[in-house]
A and B are shown apart, each in its own frame.
Chain A
Amino acid sequence: MKKDVNITIDFAGLKLASPVFTASGTCGYADELADFMDINALGGFITKSITLLPRKGNPTPRVVETDAGMLNAIGLANIGLEQFIKEKIPLLEKMSAAIFVNVAGQKIEEYVQVTAELAKQPAIAGFELNISCPNVAKGGVHFGTDPAGVRRITEEVKKAAADKVLMVKLTPSVTDISVIAEAAVAGGADALSLVNTFTAMAIDTEKRRCVLANRTGGLSGPAIKPMAIYLVNKVYNEVTKKSGIPILGLGGIKNASDAIEFMLAGASAVALGTYNFIQPARAIEIVDGIGEYCRRNGFDNVHQLTGALE
């Protein structure tokens, strides 16, 4: 087999080894997946959401499996900025994938503070702005559903991000995702990632209670893939194609075919989330699978897949 396909990509000015990322909240803070695969073949790595102060998150149960998917209501549990810098940055420095820190908060000032502090770290390539988490009472998804709010928070964080790439992560739980995407682009986003989880609920019929202690959670996994593909395609056609802003597509990816679907729909890169739990080496298998697909279909450069939908 000829090794002639170029699977490196340019993503918002970053040169990436491959178009495959691991998604926030599903791959730890740094090198946790290194037990299972060569994490240096990843294009990008996105940390668990980091907030200014440590957060315990929600009470348990905070995960539950549903048909072809799962709900989570972790509630942005994380070690907080200070411990992240002390313990995780040294590990991240050793990784060759582009490191994105997912930033979350309750107030715009908190996002700005976390971003400004981390913008000083050479190990970090960019930020993923989490304005779309469904599992916290304040902040989270509420920022993500109001176009004016999205534009403002993007503008403020963009200033704090200095020369780093700013990617804004969109919630699918809105009436028209293109309006929100437009607002993020107007606010200065260098890239968009979509989708975050869909707000959802599961009920234990015997106990007549919600399974999750938080009652609601975010649905992820194969169950959401067709909806995520549709939303990526919509934002690509209506917003990013003309502005040249790259999309990181995610939601329900389990293998290379799924990843390719996202790229054909308009994504420049893809991220693997829930499936890391099931097959912790899968992200790298997807890198190989995409290369193989390109070879088989006569693409010599992986970026040719982006938006190649007939």
Chain B
Amino acid sequence: MKKDLVQRKKGVFAARIISNHQFKGRFCRMSLELAGLGAEAFETVTPGQFAEFDLTCASLPSPEDVPVELRDAIERKILLRRPFSFSDVRIEDGRAIIDVLYAVVGAATVRMAGLKPGDEISVLGPLGNGFTIPVKKKLAILLAGGMGAPPIQHLAKVLAAGFKNIEVVTFAGAKSSDDMPFAVSDKNTAIGPAEFPDYGLEMLIATDDGSTGYKGLVTECFRQWLQTCEHKADDTIVFCCGPEAMLASAAKLCEAEGIECQVSMERRMACGTGLCQGCAVECGTGNSGQSVYQMCCKDGPVFDSKEVIFDL
């Protein structure tokens, strides 16, 4: 979130697909491997940063393998790269391994789902500013809405591994069980591609229709939980990623409670590198009542929730 103190090296790198599969409905998980300079560049990635994938060379699946509502969309000739954050980044034998959790929603992600182990794609990154973890906090609350899960998952791992003094509680929400990018166990905890349980972290699930876990909005679930929480507001921090309405309501709640809150924003991007000025996020400028546009890709995607004027 803070402007990078150390100038990290970004670049265009070839990445090799290690695995790629659909695990539930339209949700897929892909692992990529970068060697050499690419590995160096991605070694220092912080959760919330992202990369732009060139998927133009990925071949189209046959129409039968494509959901009916996407059959027209996939005929479009794609041009631009697509932004993705990471659900994990790790170094193995000098190579950077990046895990990406993604939903098949359109022309590029349909092609992405067809990538096979051994295929190569071009990755531009790492980009943007990730979450900042203030070491003095005692409690970190992680809120993931729908496809906002990947960077939250990455953050959960980093917190669990490196910040033992910070207690972590995670909330994940979606419209219904089917829209949840995790497999869910009988006990309403996440299993499968979401590693939250592996990190030994508590996770609460909410669905709008009550098909799994708490029935209602994840922010409401979080609000109720907060009333039972014994930590002081000053010692607490909230990190969230998900639909803008969810971020806005988390921001409002945190502001009322005096809790620091960081939100990861999403905008349509053409470049991801600050060149096109396309991904504007409206931000307040202190007490002047004025606002400016900051660039989601370069100034964000993680912002202090108090800065952002949400677009609802």
Contacts and interface: CB of A to CB of B under 8 A. Distances in A.
Interface of A: 25-28, 32-33, 35-36, 48, 56-57, 59-70, 72, 74, 77, 221-222, 274, 276-281
Contact of B80 (A28, A61, A65, A74): A65
B79 A221 contact: yes
Contacts of B12: 36, 279-281
Contacts of B54: 278
Contacts of B271: 26, 276-277
B53 to A, nearest CB: 11
Interface of B: 9-12, 54, 76-81, 124, 267-282, 291-293, 311
B278 A63 contact: yes
A277 B275 contact: yes
A68 B275 contact: no
B270 A70 contact: yes
B278 A28 contact: no
A61 B279 CA distance: 8
A70 B79 contact: yes
B277 A57 contact: yes
Contacts of A278: 54, 79-81
Main secondary structure of the interface of B (DSSP, over half): loop
Contacts of B311: 59-60
A77 B268 contact: no
Given A35-B10, A279-B12, A280-B124, A26 B275 contact: yes
Contact of A57 (B11, B272, B291, B293): B293
A36 B271 CA distance: 13
Given A63-B268, A70-B79, A280-B273, 11 more contacts: A28-B274, A48-B277, A60-B268, A61-B267, A62-B268, A62-B277, A70-B80, A74-B278, A274-B79, A277-B273, A279-B12
Contacts of A35: 9-11, 273
A74 B10 contact: no
B275 A276 contact: yes
Nearest to A68: B77
B76 to A, nearest CB: 5
Contacts of A68: 77, 79
Contact of A277 (B276, B281, B293): B276
A216 to B, nearest CB: 15
A199 to B, nearest CB: 17
B160 to A, nearest CB: 33
Tell me which of B54, B278, B279 has the highest count of chain A C-beta atoms within 10 A of its own C-beta: B278
